[in-house]
Structure 1
Amino acid sequence: MQVELVAPDRYVWSGPATMVVAKTSEGDLGVLPGHAPLLAVLVNGRVEIRPVDGEPVVVAVLGGFLSVADDKVSLLAEAAELAEEISVAEAEQALREAEGQGDADAAARARARLSVAGGR
């Protein structure tokens, strides 16, 4: 199946894949080739794409939509960062600041980034 993950500022990843796992408002969702058409709301969390060739692609996605149709998966993220792009120190600092200010949304985004980057 063909997979595209895009954010407003860039194409994050595109190519053939054997599986996509994403966190949606209804829970974790796994998509395999031949999946029925679907539209889902992405929530802050991990998206894992398993390319046909190579290592899994792990991304922190902060909101958006996932669409499945005709063996094509489109992930339209409000914001997205590849795991290797995330600074654990910066994400931890953002979490401390968000918690200190009582900003639950910012704290949830920081936790999502930390979980993908391998932080606490």
Structure 2
Amino acid sequence: MASTIRCDIVSAEAEIYSGEATLVVATGEIGELGIAPKHAPLITRLKPGKVVVTTPDGEQLDFAISGGILEVQPEMVTVLADTAVRAQDIDEAAVRKAKEEAERVLAGRGEAMDVAEAQQRLAEVSAQLAALERLRKNLKH
């Protein structure tokens, strides 16, 4: 059996995932991080983006997060996110509408939110759309 590490992904609202993994990939502030069993301990901030968990049977689970903290201990990796959602639970229509609104604000044609909030929202919805695309690609194979 392959070596595994425990992975927990939690948001402010709920526990999103808890289980064993052979690899966890997330987007840190300075780039992609790949966490495998027996990884050195670390704590880092995460950018809005995707988290991909590879299970012991080889399945890849995609999650979209709004940013947060990644903590690695010798036997466990924890993702603490403000918001997190499984790719298959994303409402594509709502995400596309939110993306359009954020882009409109950034282009100077909207007033509903300030520029910083619009940039954050655009990063979040872009991560969700990327997770959806990856899920669709995996389903085709």
Counterpart in 2 of 1:79? 83
Q: 1:25-104 counterparts in 2 under 5 A?
A: 25-53=29-57, 55-102=59-106, 103-104=118-119
Identity across the alignment (%): 34
Runs of 4+ in 1 over 2 A off after TM superposition: none
Q: Give me the CA root mean square deviation.
A: 1.3
Match of 1:8 in 2: 12
Q: CA deviation at 1:57?
A: 1.0
Show CA shifts across 1:7-30 (max 9, x none): 011110001110000001010000
1:112 maps to what in 2?
127
SS at structure 2 position matched to 1:118? helix
**Structure number with larger C-alpha Rg:** 2
Contact 2:65–2:84 (8 Å) recurs in 1: yes
1:11 partner amino acid: E
8 Å CA contact 1:87, 1:117 repeated in 2: no
8 Å Cα contact 2:37-2:74 kept in structure 1: no
Bigger fraction of residues in helix: 2
d(CA) in 1 for partners of 2:63 and 2:14? 13
Between Structure 1 and Structure 2, how many residues are aligned?
119
**How far has the Cα of 1:53 moved from its partner?**
3.1
Residues 53-99 of structure 1 show CA distances to partners (whole Å, capped at 9, x for unaligned) of: 36211000111100011221011011001000112221111000111
Compute the TM-score of the two structures, normalised by the length of structure 1.
0.93
Deviation at 1:40, TM superposition (A): 0.9
Unaligned runs of 5+ in 1: none
Q: Which blocks of at least 5 consecutive residues in structure 2 are unaligned? A: 107-117, 135-141
- The residue that corresponds to 1:18 in the other structure is 22
More strand by share: 1
